[in-house]
């Protein structure tokens, strides 16, 4: 499995991430082409990426600078989403850029007591931040790693001046984004007065990283060093280590192969005025259209009306199409949309013989390497109907056949 490790000894930012990706071999021209394809408001590309070699405390690194004309726009999430949607990005790059901006919007909305629709970006909505985030999304897609790991993240100390005034480091939105992320006390050289981790860097890390800790067991293929803009008494660089994950004796199998988090979209809506038949019809249509999972839960709505929570899991590329089915076949006026990670156990289907004929079982591999067997319901029902026995009898027979085979 090809993985990457982010060594954030000096924090992490969008431009440092871009620099590390380019230094690790990602084609800068390909990133630029993706940025040029965005639906810029005036119809023409508004930025240019320039990479150069710099020295930070004697160590070489790649610094990427976003060149653009001055602007004073404060954009909302829907403005940026429109730009991304209009670009010629791969599904993975589109999904990642969208998810990172949404994380930032959720953090900003929370700290300002606003909503996703009303909150507007200041620094993160500027052209250079858009280029950093979308460029990083394109770069990670081009890098082609399956999992990303990361060191604990230092934030720096002191104060930073933002659009809302002078704030303690980490700034409010950055702190919100770093919730659940292990924080390092300070870089190796000692406490630093200044901002080491930006909202952009925090959002990229929060969206991409599977787990935090020391460098995992791996065979190193390449190393990229991305430079920050500031100079400190330590090398202000982000180190990106890329290579092949290797197995460690005693380590759970799912950390090496299988059981890895997958990115999916979770869509949810509350229904209290849709007939039950219409909800059932919608669920069947969603399954037929390729939903990963559909679930209904009872709710107590306002004015004591009974309702139903419709929860839908979808592959990112299918989310908009499946949402359209919900809007068409129910009375939903809105949906909650989240990009989330899910863990799926490795599984395989095995055909087995019983006294009533052949049926299938699904064999799932658990994190400790053991296996769990579940008879396929449709096979059990078909055999039971044909033989005049119960589904339970066939299920027991299939499980017994599996044990005998082992």
What are 29-68's pLDDT values in tens digits? 999 999 999 998 777 677 899 999 999 999 999 999 999 8
3-class DSSP state of 195: strand
Q: What is the full DSSP assignment across 94-114?
A: HHHHHHHHHHHHHHHHHHHT-
Q: How many CB atoms lie within 10 A of CB 99?
A: 21
Those residues whose C-beta lies under 8 Å from the C-beta of residue 383, and which sit 6 or more positions away, are: 354, 356, 357, 359, 389, 394
DSSP state of 229: S
Span 314-329, pLDDT tens digits: 988 788 899 999 999 9
Closest by CA position to 400, among listed 356, 344, 347, 336 = 356
Closest Cα to residue 174, out of 189, 160, 185?
160
Cβ atoms of 361 and 369 closer than 8 Å: no
Structural domains in the chain, sorted by start = 2-255 (no CATH), 261-343 (3.30.70.1380), 347-405 (no CATH)
* Phi and psi at residue 374, to the nearest 5°: -130, 120
pLDDT at 261: 60
pLDDT the model gives residue 304: 83
From 79-88, 303-312, 362-371, the region with the lowest mean pLDDT: 362-371
- Given pLDDT bands bounded at 50, 70 and 90, which one contains residue 252? very low
- Predicted confidence at residue 122, as pLDDT, reads 55
Mean per-residue pLDDT for 69-95? 85
Tens digit of each residue's pLDDT (9 = 90 or more) over 204-243: 999 999 888 889 889 999 999 999 999 888 899 999 999 9
Cβ neighbours for 380, distance < 8 A, ≥ 6 positions apart: 359, 391, 394, 395, 398
With 90 as the cut, is the pLDDT of residue 74 above it? no
Token reading at 207? 């969206």
User: What is the pLDDT at residue 46?
Assistant: 76
pLDDT at site 186: 64
Q: Name beta bridge partners: 265.
A: 314, 339
∠ CA 258-99-156 to the nearest 5 degrees? Answer: 95
Q: Quick check: 9 and 154 in contact, CB under 8 A?
A: yes
Which residues are paired to 375 by β-bridges?
361
Assign 120 a pLDDT band (cuts: 50, 70, 90). low
Alpha-carbon distance of 401 to 397, in angstroms, equals 6
Q: Is the pLDDT of residue 245 over 90?
A: no
In this predicted structure, the answer to whether residue 254 has a pLDDT above a threshold of 50 is: no
Both tokens assigned to 71: 């602007």
Q: Which of 212, 256, 252 is nearest to 366 (CA)?
A: 252
- Of residues 23 and 260, more confidence is placed in 23
Q: How confident is the model at residue 253 (pLDDT cuts 50, 70, 90)?
A: very low
Q: How far apart are CA 227 and CA 53, in angstroms?
A: 9
CA 406-356-391 angle, 5° bins? 85
| Range with the poorest average pLDDT among 256-260, 348-352, 354-358 | 256-260
DSSP state of 244: E
pLDDT value of position 168? 85
Q: What is the pLDDT of residue 250?
A: 45
For the cut 50, the answer to whether the pLDDT of residue 132 exceeds it is yes
362/342 Cα distance (integer angstroms) = 19
C-alpha separations of 354 from 53, 97, 184 in Å: 68, 51, 58
Question: Which residue has 């499980």 as its token pair?
Answer: 399
- Exposure string (b/e) for 239-250, b if CB count within 10 Å is 16 or more? bbbbbebeeeee
pLDDT given for residue 189 in this prediction: 57
Owner of token pair 């500027």: 126
Lowest mean pLDDT among 178-187, 243-252, 316-325: 243-252
pLDDT of 164 reads 61
At 16 the pLDDT is 97
Kindly state the percentage of the chain with pLDDT values over 90: 50
Instruction: Look at residue 330 and tell me whether its pLDDT is greater than 80.
Output: yes
Q: What percent of the chain has pLDDT over 70?
A: 90
Tell me: the pLDDT tens digits for 155-174?
Answer: 988 887 776 678 888 888 89
**pLDDT at position 280:** 94
From the list 293, 379, 309, 275, the residue with the least C-alpha distance to 344 is: 293
pLDDT at 299 over 60: yes
Average confidence score pLDDT of the chain? 87
Q: In this structure, are residues 154 and 169 in contact, taking their beta carbons and an 8 Å threshold?
A: no
Q: Which candidate, 299, 298, 311, places its Cα nearest to that of 340?
A: 311
Largest Cα–Cα separation, the chain = 80
Average pLDDT over residues 6-16: 95
Paired tokens of 248: 């460690």
């Amino acid at each position: 499995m090809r993985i990457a490790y982010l060594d954030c000894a000096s924090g992490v930012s969008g431009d440092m991430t871009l620099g590390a990706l380019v230094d690790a071999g990602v084609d800068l021209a390909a990133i630029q082409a993706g940025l040029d394809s965005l639906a810029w408001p005036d119809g023409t590309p508004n930025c240019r990426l320039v990479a150069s070699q710099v020295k930070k405390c004697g160590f070489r690194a790649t610094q990427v600078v976003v060149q653009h004309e001055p602007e004073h726009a404060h954009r909302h999430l829907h403005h940026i989403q429109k730009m991304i949607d209009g670009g010629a990005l791969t599904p993975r790059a589109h999904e990642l850029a969208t998810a990172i901006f949404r994380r930032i919007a959720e953090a900003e909305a929370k700290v300002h007591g606003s909503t996703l629709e009303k909150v507007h970006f200041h620094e993160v909505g500027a052209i250079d931040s858009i280029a950093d985030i979308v460029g990083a999304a394109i770069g990670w897609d081009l890098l082609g790693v399956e999992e990303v790991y990361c060191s604990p993240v230092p934030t720096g100390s002191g104060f930073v001046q933002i659009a809302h005034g002078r704030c303690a480091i980490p700034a409010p939105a950055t702190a919100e984004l770093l919730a659940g992320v292990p924080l390092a006390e300070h870089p190796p050289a000692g406490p630093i007065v200044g901002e080491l981790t930006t909202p952009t860097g925090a959002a990229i890390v929060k969206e991409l990283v599977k787990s935090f800790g020391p460098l995992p067991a791996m065979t190193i293929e390449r190393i990229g060093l991305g430079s920050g803009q500031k100079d400190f008494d330590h090398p202000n660089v982000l180190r990106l280590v890329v290579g092949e994950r290797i197995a460690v004796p005693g380590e759970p199998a799912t950390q090496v192969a299988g059981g890895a988090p997958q990115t999916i979209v979770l869509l949810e809506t509350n229904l209290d005025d849709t007939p039950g038949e219409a909800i059932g019809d919608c669920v069947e249509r969603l399954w037929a259209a390729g939903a990963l999972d559909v679930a209904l839960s009872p709710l107590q709505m306002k004015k004591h009306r009974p309702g139903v929570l419709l929860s839908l899991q979808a592959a990112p590329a299918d989310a908009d199409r499946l949402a359209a089915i919900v809007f068409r076949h129910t009375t939903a006026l809105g949906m909650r949309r989240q990009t989330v990670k899910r863990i799926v156990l490795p599984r395989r289907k095995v055909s087995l013989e019983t006294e009533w004929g052949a049926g299938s079982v699904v064999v799932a591999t658990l994190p400790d390497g053991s296996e769990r067997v579940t008879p396929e319901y449709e096979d059990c029902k078909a055999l039971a109907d044909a033989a005049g026995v119960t589904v339970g009898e066939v299920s027991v027979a299939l499980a017994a056949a599996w044990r005998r085979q082992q």
